[in-house]
Structure 1
Amino acid sequence: MSAIKNMYPERSSIYRAWSTWEKISFRFAFIFFILLVVPIQFSWYKKLFEDFSFYGLLANVSGFRPEFIEISSESGKWGIDSYATWAIAAIISAIGTAIWTWLASGRQRLSYNQLYYWLRVLVRYRIGLGLIAFGFIKFYPMQMPFPSIANLHTDLGDYAPFKLYWQSVGVSVWYQIFLGFLEIGAGILMFFRATTAIGAIINAGVLYNIAHANFAYDGAVHVYSSYFVLLSLFLLILYIPDLYRLFIKKEAITPQYYRIKLDSRTKRRGYYLAKALFILVFVFVYGAYRYDFHYYQGRLKEPVIPGFSKAVGHYTVSQFILNGDTLTYSPYDSVRWHDAVFERYSTLVYKVNKKQPIDLRNGTPHKTDLFKDYEFTGRAGGRVYLYYEIDSLENAIYVVNKGRKFNENFEKENKKENEVNLKKLYQTAIRDSIGILKWKYERPSTEQIVLSGQDVSFDSIKVVLDRIPEQPLLGKGWFSENKKYTYVQ
């Protein structure tokens, strides 16, 4: 130690000997954060190589979430039990610390500064990657899309708390974009030692806000967001003594922290080249991939295949005929449609007084419109969401209930395609297994649509829909009816 002090007298505190409790604390932290930062689950690697691509590699590395166990209970999804993975990591770390301490007893080593340095590097880059990936889905506003027409006509009490919160953010498009910009910027700060402290403070504050909002609204993203709060607080530990002296004791400080020594031009060039390449790939290349996937390939939470031309709107059911009998409107009717909505994409929504399963997931971006579920997750109200494909030659549409549970093999075979050919599947046995219906349509005018055919109970129905003139209070949203994707059917 004296030799080190003589070589670096102005930085001798950096190389000071660690106390026993500091070593024990570090050993625990080292094992704990390695378990949370480095993928050790076989399922992660299996997913990575099942459908390997460069984008998939970047997305899986950036979006890694440690998950040793999943408790299937209410608390396991929204409450304290959802942190079970952290508890398991803490138990393993405690055992590992005891073994490490026993093995290291009586030995004097000066490697803790280096281990601490590299652990901080690993944590810094994990935060940076996660925050940048988290930010892009907001910067390209698709994590919380603008509310659909059917969503805007949903009663407030029919929303699950998380969906109400997400819809509120979805309305504020530029706020969501700003959040994405902030998260991307804060993530980039993690790649540089000089900006680590300010970046960790920003990340801890922003992600804490997201975590407690998800606790309040049952958003199920509280674990992942508080994960970054935990990592950020770990990074801030190093700076607390100097921050205390500067802001509390009002003392002048000269921060001095351990760093590796690049004692040759080759090492320095390699270091800067590696960092530049890392930032290029995970910020610019990954950002370009995200843009392409969202806006050119249609991998959004919302469908992108266009529906009927100039049919977007809210419709009243002026006539409903069941097996030849005209049913009069009743708010308690579980068969007659109460109203209907045609979205700008190929989704038809109708409401009946009948219990429908409530999907409590956040909605996942898919390549295939049929499997995109964000529009009906987190809401009740008896609305049925139908995906439809138009056959203009026969004046027919083929429809499927999007809210039903699809066969696992059917999903696996079709999720890689841009769209599912319902007309072709209608001629096979799959028709009955997933409930494909064929309805005739007429358009006497641009304000009226008439549908006729058989429902899932094989009853004959005829529905006359008249558009209700409305002036949306929120405008047409981020994407109007005329918004065109480069995505081609």
Structure 2
Amino acid sequence: MSVRTVGTATDFDDLSPEQNREWRPALRILFRFVIAYFTLFCVFYPQPLFAFFGILQKWLPDDLLQKYADLPGPLVRWTGRTVFDHPGVHLNLDSGSGDQLYLWIEVFCILIAAVLVTAVWSVLDRRRAEYRTAAGWFLLFFRVMLAGQMLNYGFAKAIPLQMPVPGLATLVQPYGEFSHMAVLWNQVGVSPVYESLLGLAEITGGLLLLLPRTQVAGALLSLVSMAQVWVLNMTFDVPVKLLAFHLLLLSMVLLAPDARRLTTALLGGAAGPSTVPTPFRTRRSRRISDIALVVLALWFVLGQAVGAWDGWHKYGPGRPQSELYGIWNVTEFTRDGQSVPPLLTDETRWRRMVFDDPGVAIYQRMDDGMVPVLTEFDSGAHRLTLRAPSGSEALASLTYERPASDRLTLTGELEGHPVTLALTLVDSDRMPIRQGGLHLVQDYANGVK
């Protein structure tokens, strides 16, 4: 019997005997578990479904995504309290961490639920010989979920926002004080072109998953990209390990039906047509599905592009800067009329001030400790007010003068003491980290003379 294919999927009406045969019991049980587990993960774990909101996220209530993500909250909190003896676990979408205790307990709940669903499903549906149609629907669902995440990851890097160019405060912070994650973030951020190329690879993987006839190529590229992301997360302690690992597994699930064919092709043999199941039996239904996936790809791209464009204006190179933008070395520090010498043991004397973002400044103590403060400028009166991050009582009220473009004088009161600070602007563009670029001819490695 011949095998007739349309796109990358075999027609159900003309299956080969090998494709039409009964699935082994172990394979049927594994299929039920995989479907149950990853469906629950994609639906309830924060983020996979968020891509569907697209540009609508700009107008959605701020707490809507939090409420949706916390739907399994009662079960998660009960499990945390009862099973793991961790009362009061909660989810914070603004924490920047995808490895919160809440999420680990949620994944544990998903695992237990998937085992129970598999057991009940196996009993009730024990006479079913195969699940090709169901597999087609679920694989399509997983493709869309993975594609949304690949595009989300990709646009955050293609328009280099996820790992931004190191800020001014980073340039004066001792390397030994960086966390592993900060090292990775600054390593990638210092080369926006490299970051954009990483993002373009992930965008390509997402689009190939959605475009007709390229789903296997998309799954392969997603597998490689997510393997890299997961390894980096594990080795640099980036708190998105849980999600990255599941996206890696989803890529493998999508490739599983074609594992034998891919192995044959990689070993130099003739691979033949794809055997990935499809839920669509007619040419017309497949064409409608292809069009719908292309439209969905455009919707995803539009939402991610608009979000990245907004982020570029807010956080990119053209973002608003502080009125006193720059790194300023404190050359003279006078308190209560007495000059304070620059002793490394003096935790009250300032070594530097860094003005980068409009509403925040950082002063560096003599021991290199970095202290962020909120800033309020009165440009007309040349007055600067510094407050603690909590925004409580003012720490300092100072007037500022710039007798020259690279000179700054601050005079006023700091924590109840009259002070005068003389500062000199550092030419940050002359720092080696800001003098990168491509040098095709190099007689010595960078930094070696």
**TM range, normalised to the smaller chain?**
0.7 to 0.9
Q: Distance in 1 between matches of 2:114 and 2:363?
A: 53
Distance 1:38 1:477, change over 3 A: farther
For residues 83-109 of structure 1, what are the alpha-carbon distances to aligned partners after superposition, in whole Å with 9 as ceiling and x for unaligned?
55444322221121111112223x446
CA contact (8 A) 1:11 1:256 kept: no
What letter corresponds to residue 341 of structure 2 in structure 1?
T
* Residue 398 (structure 2) pairs with residue 398 (structure 1): no
Q: Provide the TM-score with structure 1 as the length reference.
A: 0.71
CA contact (8 A) 1:440 1:452 kept: yes
1:40-439 map, 5 Å: 53=58, 83-105=104-126, 107-108=127-128, 112-192=131-211, 194-248=213-267, 250-251=269-270, 253-261=272-280, 263=282, 265=284, 267=285, 270-283=288-301, 285-296=302-313, 298=314, 300=315, 304-308=319-323, 311-343=324-356, 345=358, 347-353=360-366, 381-401=368-388, 404=389, 406=390, 431-432=392-393, 435=394, 437-439=396-398
Q: CA deviation at 1:332?
A: 1.2
What letter corresponds to residue 439 of structure 1 in structure 2?
L
Task: Work out which of the residue numbers 400, 404, 413 in structure 2 matches 1:441.
Answer: 400
Root-mean-square deviation (Å) = 3.7
269-278 vs 145-154, which moves further? 269-278
Distance 1:240 1:295, change over 3 A: closer
Distance 1:21 1:262, change over 3 A: closer
1:452-471 map, 5 Å: 452-455=411-414, 457-469=415-427, 471=430
For residues 101-145 of structure 1, what are the alpha-carbon distances to aligned partners after superposition, in whole Å with 9 as ceiling and x for unaligned?
12223x4465x1111111111111111000101111111101111
Please identify runs of 4+ aligned residues in structure 1 that moved more than 6 A: 63-67, 69-72, 76-82
Distance 1:230 1:268, change over 3 A: closer
What letter corresponds to residue 277 of structure 1 in structure 2?
V
Q: Provide the TM-score with structure 2 as the length reference.
A: 0.77
SS in 2 for 1:443: strand
Q: CA deviation at 1:312?
A: 4.0
1:360 aligned residue: none
SS in 1 for 2:423: strand
SS in 2 for 1:320: strand
* Residue 53 (structure 2) pairs with residue 35 (structure 1): no
Distance 1:306 1:173, change over 3 A: same
Distance 1:55 1:179, change over 3 A: farther
Distance 1:56 1:16, change over 3 A: farther
* Residue 431 (structure 2) pairs with residue 472 (structure 1): yes
Distance 1:454 1:262, change over 3 A: farther
CA contact (8 A) 1:305 1:346 kept: no
2:26 aligned residue: 21
Runs (5+) with no aligned partner, structure 1: 1-6, 355-380, 407-429, 479-489
Q: CA deviation at 1:261?
A: 3.4
Distance 1:301 1:152, change over 3 A: same
Aligned-pair identity in percent equals 22
Q: Distance in 1 between matches of 2:299 and 2:59?
A: 10
